[in-house]
Amino acid sequence: MSEQPLTTTPPKNTGRVRFLVLGLVFINIIINYMDRTNLSVAATEMSGDLQFSPLQMGLIFSAFGWIYAALQIPGGFVIDRFGSRIVYGVGLFIWSLITALHAIANSFGALIGLRLGVGAFEAPVMPSNNRVISSWFPEEERASAIGIYSSAQFVGLACMTPLLFHIQSLYGWRGLFLITGVAGMIWAVVWYCLYREPLEHKGVSQAELDHIREGGAILESRQEKAKQTFSWRDLALMFRSRKLIGIYFGQFTISATFWFFLTWFPTYLVQYRNMDFIKSGYVASVPYLAAFFGVLLAGFVSDRLIKRGVSASFARKAPVILGMALTLFILGANYTNNPTLIILFMSIAFFGNGLATITWVFVTALAPRHLIGLAGGVFNFTGALSSIVVPIAIGALIDGNNFAPALAFIAVLAGLGICSYLFVVGRIDLDSPLKN
């Protein structure tokens, strides 16, 4: 089937409620990643206080991913069934409460259990984000919207990491978890009060509804969602397409780089590169900012190419492949002891990871319209597997003070991801038969 590039010019005065909704999602993700990265900030002090080995810390880092990955597919179905307002609001409140409870943990087992709890209630986050964007944004604006909300994880890490280091220096690692947990519980209430689906939002105009509907957004009421039931046939459909399998594996490799930065990176700077604790908080923010600019650039450039008539296959895939190629620069840090060069190589690698992070656009491009949440769950499940594998693998690969094998491991995965998009995913067709 031939591919038809999207060239529709957006009508004027279509309203801006969808951008306000995007702002809510942006803040959700900042809170979400604050509650993921606080452990990496606390790791050095916590491991010293509680006498944990590198392998034990790797297991604590990965515990989040065990249940987070396992619940991705059920989480995607729950999103399709109950909607983002309820699932996101309840999940955000409970995982923030569990985060606050980290402050009273005194053992390896307690921290494993708490990280499992955070992972369980964060499981629907990414499928929910994708569902919100699929509901509120037409196809021609979707990569930009995904780029903006995806950038929140990086700008949040860049801005919050120095703050989290300062909070820990003032109140200790226990105070760090308490403060970040309470902040999340407050925001959960705000989200629940403000968010609505397009057909239920009192502020959205008919012109804006028409604009997003004509652009391919998914507009469903709660009554329509309530009619949906789980089907093993639907789940099997998620694995029938070679292209879907290709993006699943690609997401694992892209997420591997992200999880290195989210878990071991601050420890790498402080413990293995002997950087000052507070200073490392600011230094660590540089690669996060690079990734922030990378994901924004990828989204806007990809949408601009689509509007100019460039094939969707090239416009969507080029940032991903280029980004994973840049990720290979992480190997450069193995060949220098210069702090500036180390951060430069890390920044190039994470900038590339940011470029590659628009991959969620492939879910809406390839998956059946009525199964966007389920497809997002499967997609994020494969990506979340890296949150299990990578922290443990790095902990096992560290040889004394030698971190080089761990960075080589990340580079190898990035290379495999490039191969997946080139040879398994191949050409992207927006009119995929799976969507019908």
**pLDDT per position as a tens digit, 112-134:** 999 999 989 988 887 788 788 88
Name the band, by pLDDT with cuts 50, 70 and 90, for residue 2: very low
Task: Give per-residue pLDDT as tens, 262-291.
Answer: 888 888 888 888 887 666 667 778 898 898
Task: Give per-residue pLDDT as tens, 31-89.
Answer: 888 888 888 888 888 888 888 888 888 888 888 888 888 887 777 777 777 778 888 88
Distance CA 6, CA 183 (A): 41
How many percent of the chain have pLDDT more than 90? Answer: 28
pLDDT of 332 reads 96
Query: For residues 129 and 149, is the Cβ–Cβ distance under 8 A?
Result: yes
Distance CA 33, CA 35 (A): 5
Say if residue 435's pLDDT is above 70.
Answer: no
Most confidently modeled of 161-165, 226-230, 325-329? 325-329
Task: Give per-residue pLDDT as tens, 321-361.
Answer: 999 999 999 999 999 999 889 999 999 999 999 889 878 77
DSSP string, 10-41: PPSS--SHHHHHHHHHHHHHHHHHHHHHHHHH
Interhelix angle 404-419/242-263, nearest 10 degrees: 160
pLDDT of 84 reads 81
Closest-CA residue to 360 (of 83, 153, 68, 64)? 153
Contacts of 56 (CB under 8 A, 6+ apart): 47, 108
Helix (H, G, I), strand (E, B) or coil at 156: helix
pTM for the model stands at: 0.70
Distance CA 167, CA 103 (A): 13
Residue 396: Cβ within 10 Å count: 14
Query: For residues 66 and 388, is the Cβ–Cβ distance under 8 A?
Result: yes
Query: For residues 184 and 35, is the Cβ–Cβ distance under 8 A?
Result: yes
